[in-house]
A and B are shown apart, each in its own frame.
Chain A
Amino acid sequence: MAHERVLVVGGGLAGLAATMRLAELGIDVDLVSLVPVKRSHSVCAQGGINSVNALTRQQGDSEWKHFDDTVYGGDFLQHQPPVKEMADWGPKIIDLMDRLGVPFNRTSEGFRDQRRFGGTLYKRTAFAGATTGQQLLYALDEQVRRWEVEGKVRKWEFWDFLAPVLDETGRCRGAVCQDLVTMEFRSFPAGAVVLATGGNGLIYGRSTMSMVCTGSAVSRAYQAGAWYGNGEFIQVHPTAIPGADKLRLMSESARGEGGRVWVPRKPQDPRDPRSIPESERSYFLEERYPKYGNLVPRDIATREIFDICTTEGLSVEQDRLCVYLDLTHIPRETLDRKLGGILEIYEKFQGVDPRVTPMKIFPAVHYSMGGLWVDYERSATGGLVEGSFRNQQTSIPGLYAIGECDYQYHGANRLGANSLLSCIFSGLFVAPTLANACGSGSRAAGDESRLFDQEVRRQEERHRSLLARTAGVENPYGLHQELGTLMTRVATVVRRNDQLVPAYDEVCRMAERWTRCAVSDTGNWTNQNVVFTKALGDMFPIAKLILKGALLRDECRGAHFKPAFAMPGLKATDPVGRRQEAEQWCDTFEANTRRWLKSTIATCGPGGDPEISYQDVDTSLIPPRPRLYGLVGADAIEEVWKERSARATDHAGRAAQPAGAGA
């Protein structure tokens, strides 16, 4: 069909990258966003963007090692080909953003500077002050504005995605959206629809995410039949500034630049932190993880901080959980140059200068590793086939997902500074796929308009019935707060089945209570009240799949930590005992891998209740191995593991079978 448009939903890094590349390919784009795209949540990303670079390459780094760090950090839960492709694209993506004018920090020679981030030993992270996400977003925003002036892109800002429109074969033909100012509904017929709508932190009430991160667009796609993958994997960032309206991120770059996490050895030591001598401080991350120190992967740092405050009772404050993040040993000029932006945030919102006084921080919900299940086509070399229909396609043909709202790149735990890369990569990479999808399934125009009219009527009906609910007894904002408190309590750092079971029932009751929510604004002009109430209703199906996925997954993997199924370190001290325990440990690990190294797939059943199934993970490039950060007896386990891997490789070689180990 001639002249089909692509509908991009969401104007953060992923949506803008896709839009830019599509326009360049000659495709007309409708770009729908809840906010002016320049105000998207990507602006909040602070620390940087990862890629192998000229410097790290000479220290032994490679695209393969970046790929390896990413899958190891993610506890092997990602399909490997897309991750490999992303790592391979890293250098050219940084070069591109550099050409677009991103003011990356510079070395004295005028090259891009890099810093070190968590989960790697290389300085792989390019950065622009402490507002790298903002700077990258602006560069893409500027290019898309250029295309808008050219007439290739039409922006629909302050518009809400309500539902994909599917034909009788189940293929996506476009979507219905609503203008948040005039409240009018509109059909967007499209050759392909791509969701780039980010994470769903608001399901947890307060998080580091922006107010648009309700997950509503994804939930609507899920309720229309799209599968959701790995929902239970939610990253809790180790360092955030507690606040009444939001938990503001304190970037990992604070530790990347030498920030140290500590607590006074004496519980709630009332002294000024600066006057507490070194000997009376516990730098617990450095003590427990000498190799990575303060830069252990996020899930581990989070758990340690959570643990030292709750289990060990060493929180800095009595009535609030927090630890010190200390930068005061670093010269002021260095801090201002490299971390200025984030330090200002702390100063502005806490009224304390972090250059002088250690910051008080605590973990907060930060990133959804899970998201819409998407497909890919593997190439002969283990990467992806560019332009394939399958890349980034959800289980609904014609509906695609990119950026944080897909589940594909970060497995069980995301490494710092990999999200900006995955967003830009998936946005650029999906463009030829979308271009190919346009015009691939022509149909009569008459049928099309009937489909859209139907969906518009359904949405108008839903909207009208909400506006009519003035007599309800439930307050949507109060209910949201309850949902957030519950989810934060049971589905963040530590998960227990005896909490998850009642929590699931509680969320079901909340979903039921939602139907009795009263709207306090019944008008039909910029009605934020009804838009929020609608989004809240769409949080419950996702909350349920997070809880159910967490409940069923009886193991520890990345951000999903269930103490009842943790594999403790070794106890024996004599070599023979240690060896024996290490063998047992590896047996358990192998059995667990066979049982649980699988993607969780949720499909939306009746009443928004999820049906959970599991899919094998493509680990054909790097066989899974234990993540041993800081474990007692790690060296003994590693030794046994290496012997086993060598035997497996040897055996596989003899049997002429590829990559047999651990699959």
Chain B
Amino acid sequence: MMIRATDDAHAMTDAAGAQRGELVRVRILRQDVPSGESYWERFEVPYERNMNVISILQKIAAQARSQDGRKVAPVAWDCNCLEEVCGSCTMLINGRTRMACSALVDRLLAEDGDEIELRPMSKFPVVRDLVVDRRRLFRGLEKVEAWVPVEGSYDLGPGPRISPDEQEDAYPLSTCMSCGCCLEACPQYTKVEVVRREGESEKDFEARRKAAYDAAFVGAHAVSQAMLFNAHPTGRMIADERMKALTRQGGIQMCGNAQNCVAVCPKGIPLTRSIARAGRAATVWAIKRLFDR
């Protein structure tokens, strides 16, 4: 049985079969410090209608007790908007990478097993419990120069005219919230964990960290952003720079075309279309470069 009944006589049955006054069982993979040992801990929280994984974690924080009644430190996790636009609360829920805010308990219990399982993302170094360090994801955006290279922010009139079709093409790509689901699911995006050495200066450590990030696969999210900005009338003025970045080490050639990224994107962004476009553009760019020599 996925939910253990309590003695609440007025339990009400919910659509998914879960009952009020019952307890939801959760298993969480915890880790106290970076590079530390991980361990499982079980919790039970009272079931509520319309509950999501965030409300489970909020209840765990409030009770700070494990299933067997031991006092334990609350589970650490990232979240902010709780409406799936900020990209903070990515984790592995019942083995699948997704956002904790939009993971509804009723559905989780219906789809899978006896209890809910929460694990931190595996492609990023764990900071603590479910909190991971996703700085590499943002480094990817720097690498592909994911911005419109405007001269400045003073008033120079409106931007370029853009057809509704172009806008409708660009908009979905622009809703990427840097959650990292596509990276977690990607076989080519493997974990890079750089630990500061004894006596290493902050600056040297930073430089070494960025170099390690840059050597590894940049990821679907960054490829898609590169395509977004290469399609923008002003953004494409530095299209060559982006193609250079995408064809360097860690670039588009590393994509193994597993297509997992598009399957797990919570926003339904057509990532594989972006990757295909980037692949074609890279070929054209390489040939052009050959002739330009």
How far in angstroms is the closest Cβ of chain A from B48? 5
State the CA gap A44–B50 with chains docked (Å).
Answer: 21
Q: A20 at the A/B interface (Cβ < 8 Å)? A: yes
CB-based contact B128/A211 at 8 Å: no
The one of A20, A348, A532 that contacts B84, using a Cβ cutoff of 8 Å: A348
Q: A96 at the A/B interface (Cβ < 8 Å)? A: yes
CB-based contact B128/A525 at 8 Å: yes
B: interface residue count bin:
35 or more
State the CA gap A522–B71 with chains docked (Å).
Answer: 12
User: At the interface with chain B, which of A238-246, A361-369, A381-389, A601-609?
Assistant: A238-246
A522 to chain B: which residues have CB within 8 Å?
73
CB-based contact A98/B82 at 8 Å: no
A212 to chain B: which residues have CB within 8 Å?
80
Could you count the A-B residue pairs with CB atoms below 8 Å apart for me: how many are there?
A: 196
Known A-B contacts A21-B153, A95-B159; A249 and B142 likewise in contact (beta carbons under 8 Å):
no
Known A-B contacts A43-B81, A520-B73; A99 and B156 likewise in contact (beta carbons under 8 Å):
yes
1/0 contact trace for A246-258 toward B, CB 8 Å? 1011000000000
B64 to chain A: which residues have CB within 8 Å?
520-521, 529
CB-based contact B159/A98 at 8 Å: yes
Q: Which secondary structure characterizes the binding site on chain B?
A: loop
State the CA gap A101–B149 with chains docked (Å).
Answer: 10
State the CA gap A231–B157 with chains docked (Å).
Answer: 38
B61 to chain A: which residues have CB within 8 Å?
477, 528-529, 532
User: At the interface with chain A, which of B17-25, B168-176, B252-260, B272-280?
Assistant: B168-176
Q: A138 at the A/B interface (Cβ < 8 Å)? A: yes
Known A-B contacts A35-B88, A211-B79, A477-B62; A428 and B153 likewise in contact (beta carbons under 8 Å):
yes
How far in angstroms is the closest Cβ of chain A from B204? 16
Specify which of A101, A131, A149, A246 lies most central, judged by the most chain B CB atoms within 10 Å of its CB. Answer: A101
CB-based contact B163/A110 at 8 Å: yes
CB-based contact A131/B175 at 8 Å: yes
Q: B220 at the A/B interface (Cβ < 8 Å)? A: no
1/0 contact trace for B51-89 toward A, CB 8 Å? 110110010011010000001111011111111111110
Scan residues 136-193 of chain A and give those whose CB is less than 8 A from a CB of chain B. 138-139, 142-143, 145-146, 148-149, 181
1/0 contact trace for B143-182 toward A, CB 8 Å? 0011111101101111101111011101100110110000
Interface size on A, residues (CB 8 A): 72
Q: A134 at the A/B interface (Cβ < 8 Å)? A: yes
Q: B127 at the A/B interface (Cβ < 8 Å)? A: yes
Q: B32 at the A/B interface (Cβ < 8 Å)? A: yes
B51 to chain A: which residues have CB within 8 Å?
244
Known A-B contacts A145-B141, A146-B147, A341-B175; A107 and B58 likewise in contact (beta carbons under 8 Å):
no
1/0 contact trace for A99-119 toward B, CB 8 Å? 111011111111110000000
CB-based contact A20/B153 at 8 Å: yes
User: At the interface with chain A, which of B116-124, B183-191, B229-237?
Assistant: B229-237
The one of B73, B150, B175 that contacts A523, using a Cβ cutoff of 8 Å: B73
Question: Told that A35-B88, A110-B164 touch, could you supply 8 new A-B pairs with CB distance under 8 A?
Answer: A99-B234, A104-B167, A106-B163, A110-B162, A138-B174, A210-B80, A520-B71, A523-B32
Interface residues of A (CB under 8 A from B): 20-21, 24, 35-36, 38-41, 43-44, 92, 94-96, 98-101, 103-112, 128-129, 131, 134-135, 138-139, 142-143, 145-146, 148-149, 181, 210-212, 243-246, 248-249, 337, 341, 345, 348-351, 428, 475, 477-478, 520-523, 525-526, 528-529, 532
A sample of 6 inter-chain contacts (CB < 8 A) reads: A99-B157, A100-B150, A244-B51, A521-B74, A526-B127, A526-B129
Interface residues of B (CB under 8 A from A): 32-33, 48-52, 54-55, 58, 61-62, 64, 71-74, 76-88, 101-102, 104, 127-129, 131, 134, 138, 141-142, 145-150, 152-153, 155-159, 161-164, 166-168, 170-171, 174-175, 177-178, 229, 232, 234-235
